[in-house]
Structure 1
Amino acid sequence: MPLHRFFVPKDLYTPADKSALAEAITEVYAILPKFYVVVLFIELDSTNFYLAGKSSDRMVRINVEHLARNFDHSDSARKRQFMARYEAALAPFTEARGIDWEVQIVDCDRELWNINGMAPPEGNSEEEQIWRKENRAVPPEEIKAMKAAGKY
């Protein structure tokens, strides 16, 4: 899953803003099952949010963990292309509002990731496509039954 943690000053975003931002982030990952994308908003009051040693109410810190897919560490162009897509999704909620922001993305070990106790299917596999279409983690025995019933 890509896990997105938004550390934000309390009340910076409305519930509608949060929903729209989560949708925009999810669209960045169009090749993944949508349920893989998790966006958390961690609100902090101004006495718990500091920038350059000063309390801040106009700064957003975004920490992203990639699990489902990892970048080829030697492919700088692809990484920068992803960052451009990600920044475009953020822009209406940051730059357009005069809010400062910082993004950090970390690739994590896919072998140390389970969903509902299962190792997710390999990327771009038939099983992952079923998970994508069903928008949920589908146990192998259920996939087998779906195939036998002609659903897939």
Structure 2
Amino acid sequence: MPLHHIWYTPGTFTEHDKEALSKKITDLYVAFGLPPFYVIVLFHPVEEKNYFVGGKKTNKFVRIILLHIARGFDGYKSANKFIAKYEEILAPFIKDRGLDWEISIEQSERDLLRVNGLEIPLPNTIAEKEWKRLNKAVPYDEKDNVVA
């Protein structure tokens, strides 16, 4: 499950911006085959008086941390391809507004994740396709945890 933490100062994003950005981020993962409900985007406003970069207060910086659990990159090339697409999505909301930003991606063990108490199905399996179709976690039989 990709979890996105986005820290910014108040006024950086409107409610419409947050909805639009979240939708574009979700669409990116859906294009890579993940169910939409896997994608979580959290916006964390931080008052300028509490936001420092290089020891100085700022209201022109956005920090983003992505945590990938359901899928990981199989190498440098696929990671760069993803980051390039992600940067394209961010551009109208951050770069084009003259803001500075930083992104990091952490990858975690999928075996340590549960959704509603369920282990997540393996990629591209019958069970995962059902989760995607329903857009929610549902119990599945282990015989459905095979590539379809």
TM-score by length of 1: 0.89
Partner of 2:116: 116
| Aligned mate of 2:41, from 34, 39, 51 | 39
Cα deviation for residue 79 of structure 1 reads 1.0
Point out where structure 2 has 5 or more consecutive residues left out of the alignment. none
Percent identical residues: 41
Partner of 2:104: 104
Partner of 2:135: 135
CA RMSD of aligned residues (A): 1.1
SS at match of 1:137: coil
Which amino acid in 2 is paired with 1:110? R
Number of residue equivalences? 140
Which amino acid in 2 is paired with 1:119? E
Partner of 2:83: 83
Which amino acid in 1 is paired with 2:135? N
Partner of 1:71: 73
Which amino acid in 2 is paired with 1:50? F
Deviations 1:97-147 (A, max 9, x none): 111110000110000000001101101111101100100001126xx9xxx
Task: Give the alignment of 1:5-20 within 5 angstroms.
Answer: 5-20=5-20
User: Could you tell me how far apart the structure 2 residues matched to 1:117 and 1:67 are?
Assistant: 16
Partner of 2:24: 24
Q: Would you identify which runs of 4 or more consecutive aligned residues in structure 1 move more than 6 Å?
A: none
Deviations 1:76-110 (A, max 9, x none): 11111111011111111111111111000011000
Point out where structure 1 has 5 or more consecutive residues left out of the alignment. 145-152
